[in-house]
Every structure is written in structure tokens, then in C-alpha cells.
Amino acid sequence: MSTRLESLGRLIDRSQPMTFTFNGRSFKGYAGDTLASALLGADQMMLGRSFKYHRPRGAVASGAEEPNALVGLGQGGRFEPDQRATTTEIFPGLVAKSQNHWPSLEYDIGAVNSLFARFLPAGFYYKTFMAPPAAWKTVFEPFIRQSAGLGAVPEEPDADRYEHLYHHADVAVVGGGVAGLAAAKAAAATGVKVLLLEQSAHWGGRAPVDGGEIDGMAAEDWVSASVAELEAAPNVTMRLRMQGFGVYDHGYLIAHERVGDHAPGEAAPRHRLWRIRAGRIVTATGALERPLAFAGNDVPGVMLASAMRDYLVNWGVAIGRRVVVVTNNDDAYRTALAFKSAGLDVAAVLDARASVISPLAQAAREAGISVLEGRGIGAVKGRNRVSGVLAVRQQGDGGAGEEIACDAVAMSGGWSPVVHLWSHCGGKLLWDEADAMFRPDPARAPSGADGAGFVLTAGSASGALTLAGGLADAHAAGKAAGRAMGGKASRKAAPKAGAEASQPIAPVWIMPEGAGPAKRAKMWLDFQNDVKVSDVQLAAREGYQSVEHTKRYTTLGMATDQGKLSNINGLAVLSQALSQPIPATGTTTFRPPYTPVSFGAIAGEAAGELFQPVRQTPIHAWHEAHHAHWEPVGHWRRPYAYLRGTETPADAVTREVVNTRENVGLLDASTLGKIVVKGPDAGRFLDMLYTGMMSTLPVGKCRYGLMCNENGFLIDDGVVARLDDDTWLCHTTTGGADRIHAHMEEWLQTEWWDWRVYTANLTEQYAQIAVVGPKARAVLEALGGMDVSREALPFMTWAEGELGGFPVRLFRISFSGELSYEIAVPASMGQALWDRLWQAGQTRGIMPYGTETLHVLRAEKGFIMIGDETDGTVIPQDLGLNWAISKKKDDYLGKRAQSRSFMASEDRWRLVGLETLDGSVIPDGAYVVAEGRNANGQRNMQGRVTSTYYSPTLKRGIAMGLVAHGPERMGEVVTIPTIGGPAIKAKIVDPVFYDKEGAKQDV
Amino acid sequence: MRRYSAFAIAREGLRYHTGWERAWASPEPKKRYDAIVVGAGGHGLATAYYLGKNHGIKNVAVIEKGWLGGGNTGRNTTIIRSNYLQDPSAAIYEKARSLYETMSQDLNMNVMFSPRGVIMLAQTHHEVRGYQRTAHANALQGVATEWIGPQRVKELVPIIRLDGPRYPVLGGLWQPRGGTARHDAVAWAYARACSAMGMDIIQNCAVTGIETEDGAVKAVNTTKGRIETAKLALVVAGHSSELAGMAGFRLPIESVALQALVSEPIKPAMDVVVMANTVHGYMSQSDKGEMVIGGGTDGFNNYTQRGSFHHVEETVRALVETFPMLSRLKMMRQWGGIVDMTGDRSPILSKTPVGGIYVNAGWGTGGFKSIPGSGWAMAELVAKDAPGPLAAAFGLDRFREGRFIDESVAAGVAH
Amino acid sequence: MLILECPYCGIMADETELTPGGEAHLKRATVGSTDDAFESYLFDRKNPKGVHFERWRHSAGCGKWFHAARSTTTLEVYGTYAAQVSEPPKELVAKIKKKCPGWEGWQ
């Protein structure tokens, strides 16, 4: 019977009772309770079901290492599965449900698996469910999936918010137990900037539970004094409820602060992710007690001895009224003594060691506790809770023994330092034979940017398990970290505690030593994943001898606790099975996070509208007001078309195309890249960058240019204007602006660094508006101020001036085949100019048009589009753009590449127009097939469609494509299969469908 | 080899599973083998298996520096698909996918191939066109894929948000027979089958040097001694450049870290595999209930099997946008692997400048899904000293000729 | 999360401010080179386990390209230096030699 005592409970405030529900039933707890302590205080022993066999399970631990007591917490938009009850602070109105059972925690159909456990050993699923082949996906797997999984699925959008925070510290101390406090004090005394974090809501860790004196004070008082001292120090930042969960390269520490978990609501972010850059990281992360492997060690009521002591001292909860303690080391005697002094019954201490003479055992004996030497547990009685144990000789096979009635079992298999953070970045471990544990090897610390070790360990995380030893170690670590970061010498002395005499641990992994197979199949190693001693031994027998093989074959250590309680026991059992020393087996890799971290916290504030910035042109609001159907283009939003009334986007495109060809259209081209290239060597530079010759372009003129990468492929195109003697303005595609600017800088800085050239990406400095169509000139003339006649401003020239009072750069360029002007103004004037053009165009049938109309207009003219006709595998020669490749130049980026055999081949697919015989529109992405199949049985292909549209101008489908020997096959009819329809026949034609002479643009 | 079956489990269950034999033997190396495969990952073991099964070459050793299956085979997100754009890729990945269909039966070990279907989301118009192109190509390549609209995506993935403010879901490329398999089991099953054919799988044996004579391979020196062979297959993702260096040539490869992570397990929430290339994230739910998540690679050369956390943040952020329910799940574990990226991001299955040495490398992020096809093609290359049709396009000569196999074309990136 | 000193700004820049640019000190092969030489320039990479000379750009900072000598196995950064050189500074090479006795040198 687990009960709340009248006394003890240093962490709870009995003046603040709180009610909450668990599985729909109302419970009472106190401020300071965890969900686990409150439930245990009300005798709710069973808290969940295990993963595989659905065994009844209670809490086995009291902190972050808990594998069993996982619950679904909260409701609706605040529901969260797989929450550890042992680290969940209760609050009024908390709602929790146990997991992984149906129909209820007490009566779970899935527990039938337990009856067949002997037929469900480790890896059984690898050996069966193979016939018939389809049955795995349709029959077996759905069953396994439904019975696996733990928590329920959150169904509503997250009601909480999260945030990220940066922090820089010279020394970050992870863990706020006495070691962490001592390390932080020692580091702070050197004058450096210190950050101290503690995962729980309380400073001091285990020491106040375990007792002892530090610097002549009770441990608890020393903790208070130390916290006060650190809080007063200007160079120290302290945080509770914050776990440093991962150490990353070059001193990067990520921590997870649970800001609102204990007080849910809108007021604060729920979690905060800290991105900490620290010069040195001191891990004062303590040690975890190991369970012992005996038959029935998973029955609710069997608990780590230290956890049982925690519940008693911290929360005033007695897990049993009559307790059996089973141990292989001294520490568990503290639990026996604590129970005894709380007036509870300690039935016996079963100590696996043959002879026990340590002072703690002596104290237990003096308190009247029966200490049985050389004993272990042969079996636990009880199903849903402990009713007794069979005490047996550790040396024997567990066959005979003495039955001891009890309602709880406290077990201790020794302690393992928490080495996770030390190991994340490659810190190495060594096996400490005396204390039977892996501990950090200070000689092989994880190294940082400067090659020096940047993680230090403190206290029991170093393997210094005694109070005195741990404090001395922690003080030294804090001091060393501070000094390494340039801190001053400090005379601050290490905290002192009395030395404790102790008797060494007996490395006992299985209890009793000679237990037979039936017992070993009931000794749990990994509680959550239901991995037993017999499973690890089976893995070893089958050749899964590497510790990683064993882990993966048995799933040992792969549960949500990531093996905090099971890994060391498991690898010890494996080592025994392989008859090799434990260090020869080694550990599995420690990976972040130390405990699971919410994805919400990892994502941070960047959710919803803040997920990624949206780039908007100066005219964005106007588009929005005029019913733009938006298209994301990179980070930009561009109008795809402007919908009028009940129009579909396709209707709108047809209207916009026709109007632009007949009247005048307005396009917001502000997203086009605009890069200024300037300097004495700018012409020479552009000649290397473009396939054409830019150095000879006269001032005042424009020229179309192609850019390739060094591998020969076409990467961007655009019109280049020469602004003055040493200045060129390079237009790029919308998606290319940043990329091409970076490309230019890369070549300038890393190859031709002695060339005197400067570049500036002015894309966002200018708004650019295209006025397109036969009436474009009339619109501009209505604004007045510049001579926009053919004579004054011929095709492919530009001029600077004042148009309607706006300072503009006016380009006579066309991507539509129509008379067209592109007007650049400072971005701040973009909307005003647009408004003026819009007004001036009202009597001339002006309409705005979007990107799809832009595409159709250019496709009718056979103009290529980067990203459609090109895909990173196309060279200019494929596109019939030889005219844009200078024959006079020795070199340009991509020239050498284009002479390689495959690129120079005549067999490459080349650009043509495709005209369907029936006038239909070819589907996007279709291929042109050839006869037969290739050696791999695939249909032979001879080309593909790169752009395909309905042309409102020609009232039929038009397409461009790349076809083998295409330009030599004009008039030939090819076959284009469609998906789910008849193949399309199309004639190979010239890609220019409209105004082949180019008469309309040059007027 | 004693066969695995439900009957065998029942029999063993009655005697506490004491009668199971080793899945594979653990011998010391012999002086000489007809062929040596370096690397006992999925690709290396599959190469050895098909050398024996398809070509009758069974005097084979597979040498492994660490533990078998311990490289990228055991670190990936277990996705299997073959919806590739370019002919050579579609051919080899579809060969692999079709071999996965019957792998459990062929190898008598349940690798849990689960054709739960793979969706590649299109979240920009550019991606829509790219995947429609892929669907057309796949139809001609004999790869069963289909372009589906947003509503069908929602039916297949009820937890998805179609109308996210930044990247709405415009549709997807759906491969119904794509899916997942149990990655470790693939390596174990091949190892067991190789061992049963009498091949030697030698773990904890690192190659320290490669001996050549008259431009051809003669022997490898290892931490377990010198072993002679006339055929040496290097199948060592993450170590390819180093091994090539021992043989005296360079590869068009850079090694970078690729990260993955899993959530805590929950009850079934998503039956299919979803990939979102625009936001660089992909996700499936394992049989244990974990959401298995992968993202992009770090951009710098790295052999540490650790990546940078900001990439994890980016991947998670993107997936939380697309799957809002994720926000209240928790990351349970993250890890990294080292992938070899080639000059065109497609793999290399090739003869090398040294006679008798063959290289299988550069699978980048696509390694696991290709294992059986890669092994099949590599075995043919090694056995015949010439590539068969599956490997023909993946030779090293393509980098000299400018004949690339570029799959980024359809990935929604504007190159 | 690597941290590298930008030799232009003199600040320690987080990896998120930087863009990696692959192997450094490649010699451009162009028109007139053999196919082998051109292939080697474009594709063949040392990809060493150990000291790697590489290019980075301080893209979210000053925008400058620079070089770093970094270990690909420990991630130790031996030094950073300007991009406008065709080989690493002699002092840096000497420093690395001292730290890594078995190192074969930068070429």
C-alpha cells in the first residue's frame, strides 16, 4: 500500500492542495508534487502498460530516467502523449490518462501477449510473418502497428507557442545538484560569465535526500546558501526547469526550458529552446541508479531504492508499509534507514555480497533491520502489485528460498554516471572496475574548434560517487573551466564534506547467479520495450554480438528513456554471455537529446505566418486588392493572374493574353534580379560570365545574355544594359537574383581577385513595371516627359529621364513579342508609378497580367524560360542559342565543359516547337517516345516537352520541347504518350509560333 | 541454414529458444578468395549475395571494419521508392524495389518490406511540373507512379495541412508500391544468406592497404592479415575516398553528414511515407510508432557522424508546418551518417583505373532503397569485369564525358 | 554548429552565417586543357579524413569568401585565411604539421 505520510515531504506545500484527474478519476495532491508522487500518494501503483506484452507497470524511478510511468497529458490543443509522470509537476485541473491499453488500464486485452511471451522472444518477427508475401502489409503489420505505439495521437493544432533564445557563456554548468552548484561557484569565482541550469524545479539534486553535511551545514542549508550566493553574483545566470539536452560541436549546447508546463496558459511560451555557445561546458549531471535483474522485477511496487527514498523524503510518500531492500552495494541501505526512521517496516535487506561489513549496513543492523548476506530475489510475488518476494541464495539457481511478505521492493544495482552530454561530441569512456561503471576518461574529452577539450565533468557525473569526493571534483572542474576561459586565479576553497567509509559494490547483473531459462525470461532489462535477460542472451547466441546488433535485435535501450536504466545492465549481460570483459563489449552511442524534447520547441516561433518570410514587391497590396491569384516564386509571392468576377485562373489568363496582344498589359516585374557590375575590368569580367560579348556593348544599349556554370549548363539569362563606360546593369531571373550575385562574387573573390570589379545586388532597390502591348507607347506618352518614340528609343536600348515626373530608367526590351517598355523607379515610387500607368491606361484597355500570361506570351514567341526549357542539364547549344555565344572569345565559364564529347554530341535533344495535329494541349512533362525498349526494358525516349500552353492568340495548344535531332526533323510527326489517355501526335515545327519576323516588338 | 518459420519459433519457444543457431558465422580470413567485398553494409552484402546466387562465385569474403550493417544501412530512414526521373536511376531503383517485394521470402528472414506508398509533395508550381514530368517518365520506364491532387493527398495523409500559409500542398507524386523496410534486417538477412552459401563475413577487420601488380589488384592488407584476391569490390560509403586513395586513384566524391531523427512512439497516425522536398523534410511512421524524420545534408566535408543542430531545426520547423500535430510530439533521438556525394549526386558503379578493382559509391541520400538493385548490378560488374545494363550509365567515365545523371531536375529546386 | 573566424571581419561566425564552398586551392582548368585535367578540376576531390583546406563564404555577414584549414574527423579549425591566395600560408602549414605529425602536407 502506497500512502502519503503525515510527515516528511520537503518539496510539497501541504497548504496548497490541488485536484487533478487520472483516467477520469479525481485525485488530490499538493503544490510541489509530481504527477507520479501525487498518484503514488493515493496508492495508484499501476500507471501504464508495457510496449510489447502490455504488462502492468508502475513508476520505477523518480526522475527523467523513468521508463514506465508515461501518460497522455492535457486535452485538445494542449494534449501531449508519452509524458513522464515523474517529471510532470501537477497544477490544478491537470488531466492525465494512462497509455497503451484497451479497454482500460486495469483490464487490457493486449495483456494476452504476456501469456504467449515465450513464443515472442527478441526478434521473433524477423523469423515469421513471411507467407504469403502480401500478408505482412495487409494482415500482420497493421496488427503490430496497432498494438505497438504508446501514446495517443494529438488531434488539434497546438494551442501553445514556443520561442528560441541565444545565450553566450564562458562556462555553462549543466545540472544544479550540489556538484553543479559547487562547480558554478568555483567558475564564478574566477570572474567569468557562468550559466547554471537544472532540469527540475529545485536546486540541490539528491544531496538533501541522502543527507550529509557540507561545510558544517546540513546539505539542504548549504544548497540554500549556495543558491543565494550565486544569485547575488553578477556574472552568473541561473535557470530551473531547463535541461541541457545536447552538446554539439564547437561548444554549442542546446537546452530546453519548460516555461509553462507547470502553469499552462497563454501568458508565456510553453517551451523555450536555448542556443548556447559556451567556452567550456561542465556536466554535473549526476548518476543514475541501476535496477537489478531478477524474476518479476517489473511488478508495480518494485522500484529503484533511491527513487523510493526520494518519494519518501521529498514528497512524503511511502511506496510500501513493509519494504524489502535488495542490493549489491551500500547506497540502498540509506533507503532502508530512511524507511525505518519514518516508522515504516523494513522486512529485510537482501545483499548479494557474501559478507557485509560497511558502516551503513552496520547502522541498518543497529536500527533493527535484518540484513541477509549473499542473498537475492528469486521471484516477486504479485501481479498488479507486489505481495512478497522469494529470498534466495545469490550463488544458487533460485530453486529454494524463503518467502518474505512485503508490499514494495527497493532495488539497487549500483550507479552509473550520466555520461550522455560528455559523449555527444565524442568524449570517451573508461570502465571503472572498482565501482562497476563506465565513467568519462578525462584524457579523451570531446575537442572543440581549438582542438582543446571543451567538456568537463563534475561530481558523480565524473564517477566521484561520494559527497566529499564529488564536491572536490566539481570544484576542481568549475575552477579549471573558469581558468581555461581566462578567469583569474581564485583562492576559493572546495566545499568540504566528511569522508564516508564504504564497502565496494559486487558486480551482480543477474539474480540469482544460476537462474535457469524460465527465470531469465522474467528478468526485465528494458522495462518499456519488454527486453529481458533471456532476449540479450538469445541475441548473443544467434551471433548478434556487437552491442549495436544486440540493441537493434532486441530493441534494448530504444524506448523513450533511451536505455537510461537498461543499457549498462544489458551490455553486462551480453558480456557475460560472450565471456568477455565489459569494456570489450563497449556501449552504444549516446545521442541527443538526453530526454525527449518537444518538436514545438525545436521549431520555435517560426510557425504559421512566421514560418518563412514572404517577399513582397512595392505593388503587392494593389495586387491583393485586385484579386491576384498568388503563386509562390522562391520567397516571393507573384500574381499568377488577376481574377475578375467568377473567372477561373485559366479564364483570366486567356483574357489577359488577348488583351495584352490587342491593347496593353501591365506587369509587375520588380522581382527580376538587378545587379550592377562596375569597374575598370567589368567588361572583361562579364565576358567571362556570359556566353556572349558584353564588353563591346555600347552605352545606352541592351543585349540578351546567357550564363553557364563551369560545368557548361545554362543557369540564368537576362538582358544586360550598359549604363556608362564602366558600369553594366545585369538583369537576372527572379529566382536567380541572389544566386547569380553570389556566383559573380565567388568568381571575383576566389579566381579573378586582382580584377577591379564591384557588384551590387539592387533587386529590391527598384520597382520595375513592364508596359506591354500595341498601346504601350500611348500610355507612356500620356505620362509625358520622355520621348518614347521608336526613333528616340529604339528596340534594345534604354534611356534615363523623367516620365510623368518620376525619375526612371526606361528599357525597350520585350519578353512578349509586343511593343514593350520596362520602367525602373526607386522602390518607394513603385506603387505611385503603377497607379499613374493604370490611370493613363484606362481609356486604352489596360489590364494587369500575371506570371502565367507572361509564360504564355513568351511561349508563343518561342522565348526560353529558365527552369522550363532548362533544368540544369541543358546547354545553350541545345536551345538553338548559338547566336548568343560569342565565337570571338577564348574563354567563358562553361566553354571548356561544352566541348566534352557528350556535350558536343550531335545526338543531344534540341529545342523545337511541337504542334499537336488536333490542336489539343499536351500535358505538362510529357515525353516523346521512340521505337522499342532499352536494355533495361524501358520505353526508348527521344525527347520531352518543356513548355506547353493553350495559346489564346492562336486558339490552339502550343508547346516547346527538346527532341533528338529536332531542328533537322521539321514537319515530322512524333508520338507523345499521355497518362490514362491516347497518345498525342505532334508535328515538329519552329518554336516561334507568333510573329516570326519579330515585327511587333520592334515598332 | 536452419529455416525461420512460425513452426520453428513454436518449437524453440518450448525449449526457451536454446536451439537457435548463429545467423552468420564468424570465421578468420583465408589466405585467398576469388573475390573480396570491402564493406559489410547492405550494398556490400548484397553484392556478395548476388555474386554467389547469380554468378556462382561463392569463394567470397566480405570484410568489415566495424560491425555489419553499422554504417548507413543502420542509420537511414528506411524509405524505399523508385520514382526517379532519369532512365538509369529509375531502372536500378525499380530493380531494387522489385527485389524488396520478395526479399523476405527469398532470404527467409522477414525484412518487413511494407509497400505503404510514398508521396512526394508538390508545394510550388515548379514542383507540380517537375513531378508531372516524373510521372510521365515513370510510365515509360515501367515504374508505377501517379500524379494526385491535394484532396487525394489528404485522404492518404489525414494529418497533413494542405493550406499552410507559406507552401500550400498542390498535389503529389504517388508511388503506391513504395514504402519502408526494417533496415537492420536487410543487412542481417543478406549476411545470413551469404554465410549459408559458405562466404566469409569478417567483422572488425579494417583494410590497411591495397597491393597492386602491373596495374591490377593482388591483395589487400588488413588488421587480420594479408588476403589475396583478383577481384576487389569497394563498397564503403563514407570511406570511399580513403579506400580509393589506398588503391592510388581519386573519386569525384565528397563526404558529408546527413541527419535523421525519431519521435517518441504514438499509435498509428500516418500510414504512408511523405516527402516534402521544398521544405527539405520527409517522414514516415515506424511499426513501433515513432515518426521517422529525415532532412538535408550539411554542406561541408565531415566524417564525424554528427551534424549541425540548425539543420534539425529547419527540418522540424518545415514538418511542423506541414503536420501541425507534430508540434506536441517530442524528438526522442537524433543521429547522423556520412554520405558520399558525387559530382552529379548520382551513384558510381564502375571499373576503376586499377584492374580488378570495382567501386560502388556515391549513393548520397538514396543508399538504402537501392541496396538489392545495387548489389545485383555490382555483382554482375565484378563477375563479368564489365557493367551490365543496370550499371552501364553509372561509370566513372561519365564525369570526363560530361554525361551526367542529374536527379535534382525534378526535385523542385531551380538548380 | 561550427564556429569559424572570418579573417575579414575578425569575428567568430556561427555556421548559420556561413556557406561552405568545398575544397580550396583548385586550379582552374579551361580551354586547352585535356579532358582528364578538366574532369579532375571539376570533380576529383581529396575528401581527406583529417586536415582539409576548404572554402567558406561569410554569406550572412560581410559576404567575403575565405579559406579554412579544418579537420574533417575532429572538426578542429587550424586557421582561417584570405581567399586571395593560391596556397595556404606557410605559418599555418607549419602549425598543422606540428599538431599532426603524420600529416602528408597540403598538396
Give per-residue pLDDT as tens, A519-532. 999 999 999 999 99
Which CATH number fits the domain that encloses residue B310? 3.30.9.10
Average pLDDT for B173-180 = 97
pLDDT at A102 over 60: yes
> What are the chain A neighbours of C2 within 8 Å (beta carbons)?
249-250, 449
CB atoms B402 and A133 under 8 Å? no
Instruction: Give B 207-246 residues with CB within 8 A of chain C.
Output: 239, 241-242
- Asked if residue B105 is part of any domain, the answer here is no
CB atoms B316 and A599 under 8 Å? yes
Instruction: Please give, rounded to a whole number of angstroms, the shortest distance from the CA of C85 to a CA of chain A.
Output: 8
DSSP state, residue A105:
S
Which residue in A248, A602, A630 has the most chain B C-beta atoms within 10 A of its own C-beta, making it the best mutation to test that interface? A602
Residue B410: band (very low, low, confident or very high) from pLDDT cuts 50, 70, 90? low
Q: Which residue has the higher pLDDT, B45 or B167?
A: B45
Closest chain C CA to residue A449: C76
pLDDT on residue A265: 87
Instruction: Give B 340-369 residues with CB within 8 A of chain C.
Output: 342-343
Query: Under a CB-based contact definition with an 8 Å cutoff, are residues A299 and A406 in contact?
Result: no
pLDDT at A147 over 90: no
pLDDT on residue B415: 31
Domains, chain A, in order of start with CATH, read 3-115 (3.10.20.440), 162-287+417-484 (3.50.50.60), 291-413 (3.50.50.60), 510-580 (1.10.10.1100), 615-875 (3.30.1360.120), 906-989 (2.40.30.110)
Joined together, the cell numbers standing for residue B301 give 566535408
Residues B262 and B171 in one domain: yes
- Asked if residue B65 is part of any domain, the answer here is yes
Cβ-Cβ pairs closer than 8 A, B with C, add up to 65
- Asked if residue B368 is part of any domain, the answer here is yes
Cβ-Cβ pairs closer than 8 A, A with B, add up to 342
> What are the chain B neighbours of C20 within 8 Å (beta carbons)?
298-300
pLDDT on residue B414: 32
Residues B157 and B296 in one domain: yes
Residues B159 and B206 in one domain: no
Is residue B180 less than 8 Å (CB to CB) from chain A? Answer: no
Q: Among B129-138, B148-157, C97-106, name the one with the lowest average pLDDT.
A: C97-106
Cβ-Cβ pairs closer than 8 A, A with C, add up to 69
CB atoms B241 and C19 under 8 Å? no
Taking the C-alpha atoms of residue B257 and residue B304, their distance in angstroms, rounded to an integer, is 8
Residues B281 and B326 in one domain: yes
Residues B160 and B279 in one domain: yes
Nearest to A160 by CA among A805, A627, A626, A604: A604
Strand A956-964 to B32-33 pairing: unpaired
Average pLDDT for A326-347 = 98
Nearest to B303 among C44, C46, C49 (CB): C49
Taking the C-alpha atoms of residue A446 and residue A247, their distance in angstroms, rounded to an integer, is 10
Closest chain C CA to residue B399: C39
Last residue of a domain, one of B341, B361, B388: B341
- Asked if residue B262 is part of any domain, the answer here is yes
Instruction: Please give, rounded to a whole number of angstroms, the shortest distance from the CA of B99 to a CA of chain C.
Output: 33
Structure confidence by residue, pLDDT tens digits, A451-499 = 999 999 999 999 999 999 999 999 999 999 999 999 999 999 999 999 8
Which residue in B254, B345, B359, B403 has the most chain C C-beta atoms within 10 A of its own C-beta, making it the best mutation to test that interface? B254
Query: Under a CB-based contact definition with an 8 Å cutoff, are residues C96 and C69 in contact?
Result: yes
Nearest to A498 by CA among A222, A225, A174, A196: A222
- Asked if residue B85 is part of any domain, the answer here is no
Percent of residues, chain A, with pLDDT higher than 70 = 100
Q: Is B18 exposed, middle or buried (0-12, 13-18, 19+ CB in 10 A)?
A: exposed
Residues whose CB is less than 8 angstroms from the CB of residue A413 and which lie 6 or more positions away in sequence, other chains included: A289, A290, A291, A292, A293, A327, A328, A329, A508, A509, A569
Structure confidence by residue, pLDDT tens digits, C34-80 = 999 999 999 999 999 999 999 999 999 999 999 999 999 999 999 99
Last residue of a domain, one of B284, B319, B341: B341
Structure confidence by residue, pLDDT tens digits, A725-745 = 999 999 999 999 999 999 999
Taking the C-alpha atoms of residue A129 and residue B110, their distance in angstroms, rounded to an integer, is 7
- Asked if residue B7 is part of any domain, the answer here is no
Structure confidence by residue, pLDDT tens digits, A529-569 = 999 999 999 999 999 999 999 999 999 999 999 999 999 99
Instruction: Please give, rounded to a whole number of angstroms, the shortest distance from the CA of A460 to a CA of chain B.
Output: 24
Nearest to B67 among A546, A600, A937 (CB): A546
CB atoms B253 and C45 under 8 Å? yes
Nearest to B268 by CA among A95, A561, A100: A100
Helix ranges (H only) for A452-598 are 467-484, 517-520, 533-541, 547-554, 567-578, 582-585
Strand A846-848 to A820-826 pairing: unpaired
Domain of residue B223 covers 12-78+183-252+344-410
Instruction: Please give, rounded to a whole number of angstroms, the shortest distance from the CA of B381 to a CA of chain A.
Output: 15
Residue B413: band (very low, low, confident or very high) from pLDDT cuts 50, 70, 90? very low
- Asked if residue B83 is part of any domain, the answer here is no
Chains in contact with B, counting 3 or more C-beta pairs less than 8 Å apart as contact: A, C
> What are the chain B neighbours of C53 within 8 Å (beta carbons)?
none
Taking the C-alpha atoms of residue A98 and residue A969, their distance in angstroms, rounded to an integer, is 72
Instruction: Please give, rounded to a whole number of angstroms, the shortest distance from the CA of C77 to a CA of chain A.
Output: 5
Instruction: Please give, rounded to a whole number of angstroms, the shortest distance from the CA of B243 to a CA of chain A.
Output: 24
pLDDT on residue A527: 97
Instruction: Please give, rounded to a whole number of angstroms, the shortest distance from the CA of C3 to a CA of chain A.
Output: 6
Percent of residues, chain C, with pLDDT higher than 70 = 100
Query: Under a CB-based contact definition with an 8 Å cutoff, are residues B327 and A599 in contact?
Result: yes
Average pLDDT for A29-47 = 97
pLDDT on residue A110: 83
Q: Structural domain tally of chain B? A: 2
pLDDT at B411 over 80: no
pLDDT at A210 over 60: yes
Q: Which residue has the cell 537489478?
A: A292
Chains in contact with A, counting 3 or more C-beta pairs less than 8 Å apart as contact: B, C
- Asked if residue B217 is part of any domain, the answer here is yes
> What are the chain C neighbours of A451 within 8 Å (beta carbons)?
74, 76, 99
> What are the chain C neighbours of B300 within 8 Å (beta carbons)?
2, 20, 54, 70
Last residue of a domain, one of B289, B310, B341: B341
Residue B111: band (very low, low, confident or very high) from pLDDT cuts 50, 70, 90? very high
> What are the chain C neighbours of A710 within 8 Å (beta carbons)?
42
Closest chain B CA to residue A270: B328
Joined together, the cell numbers standing for residue B27 give 570465421
Structure confidence by residue, pLDDT tens digits, B199-225 = 999 999 999 999 999 999 999 999 999
Residues B265 and B362 in one domain: no
Taking the C-alpha atoms of residue A480 and residue A472, their distance in angstroms, rounded to an integer, is 12
CB atoms A749 and C35 under 8 Å? no
CB atoms B308 and C36 under 8 Å? no
Nearest to C72 among B251, B299, B301 (CB): B301
Which CATH number fits the domain that encloses residue B391? 3.50.50.60
Joined together, the cell numbers standing for residue A654 give 486567356
Residues B239 and B300 in one domain: no
Query: Under a CB-based contact definition with an 8 Å cutoff, are residues C63 and A745 in contact?
Result: yes
Closest chain B CA to residue C68: B300
Which residue in C47, C66, C73, C76 has the most chain B C-beta atoms within 10 A of its own C-beta, making it the best mutation to test that interface? C47
Residues B259 and B335 in one domain: yes
CB atoms C20 and B300 under 8 Å? yes
> What are the chain A neighbours of B142 within 8 Å (beta carbons)?
937-938
* Residue A13 bridge partners (DSSP): A31
Structure confidence by residue, pLDDT tens digits, B229-271 = 999 999 999 999 999 999 999 999 999 999 999 999 999 999 9
Query: Under a CB-based contact definition with an 8 Å cutoff, are residues B227 and B209 in contact?
Result: no
pLDDT at B412 over 80: no
Chains in contact with C, counting 3 or more C-beta pairs less than 8 Å apart as contact: A, B
DSSP state, residue A262:
T
Average pLDDT for A417-446 = 97
> What are the chain A neighbours of C64 within 8 Å (beta carbons)?
749
Residue A298: band (very low, low, confident or very high) from pLDDT cuts 50, 70, 90? very high
Taking the C-alpha atoms of residue A524 and residue A527, their distance in angstroms, rounded to an integer, is 6
Domains, chain C, in order of start with CATH, read 3-99 (3.30.2270.10)
Structure confidence by residue, pLDDT tens digits, B61-110 = 999 999 999 999 999 999 999 999 999 999 999 999 999 999 999 999 99
Which residue in C14, C40, C44 has the most chain B C-beta atoms within 10 A of its own C-beta, making it the best mutation to test that interface? C44
pLDDT at B1 over 90: no
Residues B24 and B173 in one domain: no
Residues B24 and B168 in one domain: no
Nearest to B115 among A137, A538, A926 (CB): A137
Taking the C-alpha atoms of residue A548 and residue B69, their distance in angstroms, rounded to an integer, is 10
Q: Which residue has the higher pLDDT, A728 or A107?
A: A728
> What are the chain A neighbours of C57 within 8 Å (beta carbons)?
742, 745-746
pLDDT on residue B51: 98
Instruction: Please give, rounded to a whole number of angstroms, the shortest distance from the CA of A422 to a CA of chain C.
Output: 15
Specify the 3-state DSSP secondary structure of A687.
helix
Joined together, the cell numbers standing for residue A846 give 489596360
CB atoms A137 and B90 under 8 Å? no
Residues B32 and B175 in one domain: no
Joined together, the cell numbers standing for residue A667 give 506587369
Residues B193 and B306 in one domain: no
> What are the chain C neighbours of B299 within 8 Å (beta carbons)?
19-20
CB atoms C30 and A746 under 8 Å? no
